[in-house]
Structures are given as structure tokens and as C-alpha cells.
Amino acid sequence: MSTLEIDRVRKSYGIHEVLKEVSISIGTGDFLVLLGPSGCGKSTLLNMIAGLDSITGGEIRIAGKVVNDLSPKDRDIAMVFQSYALYPTMTVRQNIEFGMKIRGITPPERDKAVRTAADLLQMSHLLDRKPSQLSGGQRQRVAMGRAIVRQPKLFLFDEPLSNLDAKLRVDMRTEIKRLHARLGTTIVYVTHDQIEAMTLATRVAVMKDGVVQQLDEPQVVYDRPANVYVAKFVGSPSMNIIPGVLEVQGTVVSAVVDIAKRGSARISGVAVSPETARKYAGKRVLVGIRPENFSIAAGDIRPTLTVDVDVVEPTGPDTLVVFHCSGAEVTARLPPKQASAGREAALCVDTSKVVIFDADTENRID
């Protein structure tokens, strides 16, 4: 059993508050990703879990045990750092063994552990090299190997892939996912890369200014973002946020948006509860539409909106089409060669995927 509970944890440096009552709890085998821009407090939180930073208030429990006052080595954790933090003067083998040596593990056992980890990460041939003789990806493996041999209750990863180039990052991402599947250890993983969060996590905590904005499964975070901030942070290109007005006619709820020089367009069948519909009827709201929820109106289907295309950006598998709507720049992801710049395009919207936010609080309304 290796659960992690973060219970109303606070951190402040003097009057500067970095974390404000953060509460997260995950179960054994979960893969928690702390996602947010730099300065949101995610790394501080990770360091507090590791015991490298002190806790100002609240409690952190690992496997049910309060660890607030335990030093890092007594918390039964292992950590992989962004810069890998390999000891530069030691060989790969010595790097992996260092912690075991300190804990007084006998040489034969150490040797066995090193061999197991090296096999698992396919780096047996690197054991006698120095870190400076390794490539970025190999260093990353060694850092993971060093963490694995501890057999910890909790793995902590601090932006482990951000020093790698794009191609290697994808490979290592898969590697980490495979490792998690194989070992089943609980993992806390810090990143600012939303794709890493989406691909790796079983639970994502999106953070901003020391506050958790949303804690949920990645798909839920993607489909039903808690607020405009999360909506824009997760997904690339990010979710379009279009100012509009909520209209109710009988049981049909629509969002009305402006198209420049063409008057208004009505997106009908937005999924909100009757109470919300009543409360917001006729009021200004923000309409959130993911780029891929647009499509070209074909055949008999009546287009939801007809727009003048500004820019077309082919990406290969599909094309990003940019146009304006209620003063906001909107991006639609469409199949290639279906629209061209300066021409008009007739688009449909997958209404079931549309998300509505309060215009003032920017929180999602259901």
C-alpha cells in the first residue's frame, strides 16, 4: 500500500504565499501529474513531499504515515530530477549504488539490485561509464535506475524530460509509462507540458498561483475543464473561448456568438442543466469549443456558422483554420484542403462537446 495524501498543505516564504491549502489524495499505483506553468508551486509541492522543503502548514501522509518531520531518506521515496543530478565523478554503477551503500546494504545485494535495474532499463553496457560520457537519454535512464533500486513507496519525478530534445522526449515518455505499468509504484510527476500530463497521468492536478484548479482524470480535465484557465492550458491548440450570450427557447439552450460582418450565429443544443439555463438566460457567457469540434458542413447539413477564413496552417494530418468570432481569434482543426485563406467556410460544431463558462468568474457552468 502506498497512498499519498496531501492535506491542506501550505507553504510561505515570509509573507509570500507559494501554496494555499493544497489538498490532493491519490491511491496505490496512481500516476499523479502536477501540471502548471513555472512559478505555480508544483515543484515546491514536490520538494515538500520529498522532504527537501519544509512544510508551513497542513500534513503530508505517505502510506498513511505523517511525514512532515521526517528527513528525505526516511520517507521511503526516490526522486528523478530535471538535470538528472548524477554524481559527476562516479561511474553509473557507483551512482546507482551510492544510496544503497549509505544504507549499509551488502555488496552482493547491491550488485544484484544494480543488475536488475540495468536490465530493466537496458543500460547494462553503460555501468562503467561516467555521466559525462552519456547522452541525455542515457543519463535519464541512469537517473531512473538510481530511483528504481530503492524500491520506494513513492516515485517523484521533477520535469524529467524537459532537458531532452523533442524526439527523445517522446521515447522516454513511453519508457516511463512502461515502467509504471511494470512496477506499479505510485508516482508523482511534475511537468509544464500538458501532453506529458495527458499521456502519462491517471490523475492530473492543474495548478496556478499555488492553488489546484482541477484534480481529475486527464480525459475529464480535457473534456470538462473546471475553468477558462484549465481549458486554455490543456490541449494544443488550446480551447477557443468565444464571448457570447445564452439563449433559452423552451428546452433548447443555445449560445449566440457574433461573426464579423455576417451578424450572429446560433450554436444550439448546448448541454447545461435547466436550472443553469434559467439562471443564465439572456446573460453574457464564454463559449468554449475545442478546435477539433469544428467540422466542414457537407451535403444537406445546415452549417452552424459561416465565417471568413483569415489564415490556414496545414500541419500534415489536418489543417488549422483561423477566423474571428465575437472579437476572439478562433482556431478550427479541419481535414486538409477544405478551406483556404480569404474565402468563406461553412462550419458545424459538435454541440455536445461545447463547454460554457461564467463570463465573470470564468468557472465552468453545467
Query: Applying CB under 8 A, which part among 45-53, 187-195, 257-265, 339-347 lies near other proteins?
Result: 45-53
Query: Applying CB under 8 A, which part among 87-95, 174-182, 189-197, 281-289 lies near other proteins?
Result: 87-95
Distance CA 50, CA 36 (A): 19
C-alpha cell recorded at residue 196:
506529458
Query: Applying CB under 8 A, which part among 86-94, 112-120, 166-174, 315-323 lies near other proteins?
Result: 86-94
Residues in the interface with other proteins (CB under 8 A) total 28
Report the residue from 3, 23, 25, 82 that binds other proteins according to the rule CB under 8 A: 82
Give the three-class secondary structure for 53. coil
Report the residue from 28, 64, 65, 73 that binds other proteins according to the rule CB under 8 A: 73
In terms of Cα–Cα distance, which of 150, 97, 100 is closest to 128?
97
* Near other proteins in 120-149, by CB under 8 A: 146
Residue 68 near other proteins by CB under 8 A: yes
Report the residue from 3, 10, 98, 259 that binds other proteins according to the rule CB under 8 A: 98
Whole-Å CA distances, 133 to 106, 125, 224, 348, 360: 28, 12, 46, 55, 55
What's at 294, amino acid-wise?
F
Report the residue from 22, 40, 49, 78 that binds other proteins according to the rule CB under 8 A: 78
Distance CA 72, CA 83 (A): 19
The least CB distance from residue 140 to other proteins, in Å, is 13
Query: Applying CB under 8 A, which part among 79-87, 111-119, 166-174, 287-295 lies near other proteins?
Result: 79-87
CA geometry: angle 363, 208, 294, nearest 5 deg:
50
Residue 79 near other proteins by CB under 8 A: yes
b/e string for 47-65 if b means 16 or more Cβ within 10 A?
Answer: bbbbbebebeebebebbee
Task: Identify which of residues 103 and 125 has a Cβ nearer to other proteins in the complex.
Answer: 103
Return phi, psi of residue 355, to 5°.
-115, 140
Q: Which residue ranges make up the site for other proteins (CB under 8 A)?
A: 47, 50-52, 68-69, 71-73, 77-79, 81-90, 98-99, 102-103, 146, 158
